[in-house]
Structure 1
Amino acid sequence: MLPGMPEPVVIRPAAAFDAAFAVPLVQQTIGQVGLALTGTDSDTGAARAMLGFFPLRGNRLSYEHVLIAARGAEPLGLLLAYPGAQAAALDDPFRERLVSLGLPGHVESEGTPGELYVDTLAVTETARGQGVGATLLEAAAARARTLGLSRVGLLVEDGNRAAALYARVGFRAAGTRSLAGGTYTHMVWTLPQ
């Protein structure tokens, strides 16, 4: 690396110790969906509940589904993605949590079979506009191929500025969905063979 050049962005698998960085960023990004998923009524409450799930395997918010983008030791963003066919099973721990709180155990699973579902793509405010999101989406494509999946899918809320990034990368609208009181466009990126 040349002197004065910034370190490159590196993508690495998350570890349980990444919770303090990842969980608040996830809740900031998913908002109302996080409240519905955890049965809480505040971002703080949702993040607190998510902190309990992040270090555990077998749920949608587990570190095992997270990739971290970092420059040196500084985390810049994350991608939370899992095979869509596993979505219902990965939501079961949240259904159990809701029932234990005396709430209806309904969780709308978001992933679609046949795709790697991007649950959350989030970049810190200071790292936006530097290509971190696109780099994370390329990592999602690589993960999808490794899993034998030919598509990457996600839901984007109407008016979300990230939709322009998704379109540039190759995502196309494939319908709409209602989730946690919001309307989302299901976007799919069919990966080149």
Structure 2
Amino acid sequence: MPPHLRPAAPADASFAAPLIQATIGAIGHTLTGERRDEAAAEVLADFFRQPGNRLSFRNTLILDEAGKSLGLAVLYPGAEAQALDEPFRARLHTLGLPDRIDPEAMPGELYLDTLAVAPQARGRGLGSVLLDGCAERAAALGLPLGLLVEEGNPAARLYARHGFLPVGTREVAGHRYTHLTRPAGA
């Protein structure tokens, strides 16, 4: 059976949360208020199981092959970003930490928050399968697909091959990112 995309479920948290944290790094630390990756991934797993936040199962596609999860994509409308970050701000406030979260998504785009392939499945073109699925979803909504890529990230080559173009830069969680978009239907 070839790889296929499916909507995530709360039960996918044990697969998804560590992979999300490994991919987003400092942003995960900022969102959760945790300094260690393992602790941040545990908090992200709790958020993943719940609706109403940016890293929820409801915003996630899982790439499966023969019953095994190999990758994921987290995406949501940029217009909803502020509301989807509110649960993270509430957590930070409860911890007595600054609750400012740098904006990533822009209104008027479907924002690809996280794209990740499990280490053992890399090098098989699965990132392209995930990107194609995200582009289909963006096209169905009539929105461009947007994302941030950290300077020096080799994934920038993959995004360029898939028609993403730079439209600006942004600083998030103390790191500099290039904002890329792929026009709707491209």
TM-score by length of 2: 0.97
1:163 aligns with 2:152: no
For structure 2, the residue ranges without an aligned partner over 5 or more in a row are: none
Q: Distance in 2 between matches of 1:148 and 1:99?
A: 36
Alpha-carbon distance between aligned partners in 2 of 1:182 and 1:70, rounded to the nearest angstrom: 31
Secondary structure of the residue aligned to 1:109 is: coil
Contact 2:142 2:185 in 1 (8 A): no
1:81 paired to 2:75: yes
Matches within 5 A, 1:1-193: 7-149=1-143, 151-192=144-185
The amino acid across from 2:154 in the alignment is R
Matches of 1:95 and 1:148 in 2, distance apart? 30
Q: Which residue matches 1:4?
A: none
Aligned-pair Cα RMSD in Å: 1.0
Does structure 1 retain, via aligned residues, the 8 Å contact 2:16–2:45? no
Aligned residues of 1:91 and 1:109 also touching (Cα < 8 A): no
Question: How far off its partner does 1:54 sit?
Answer: 0.7
Contact preservation (8 Å) 1:26, 1:122:
yes
For each residue in 1:122-154, what CA deviation from the matched residue of structure 2 results, as whole angstroms up to 9, or x when unmatched?
Answer: 0011211211111111111111123332x0000
Structure 1 spans left out of the alignment, 5+ residues = 1-6
- Code of the residue aligned with 1:155 in structure 2: it is L
Rounded to whole Å, the distance in 1 between the matches of 2:45 and 2:122 is: 25
Percent identical residues: 53
| Distance (Å, rounded) in 1 between the aligned partners of 2:111 and 2:160 | 16
> Alignment partner of 2:104: what SS?
coil
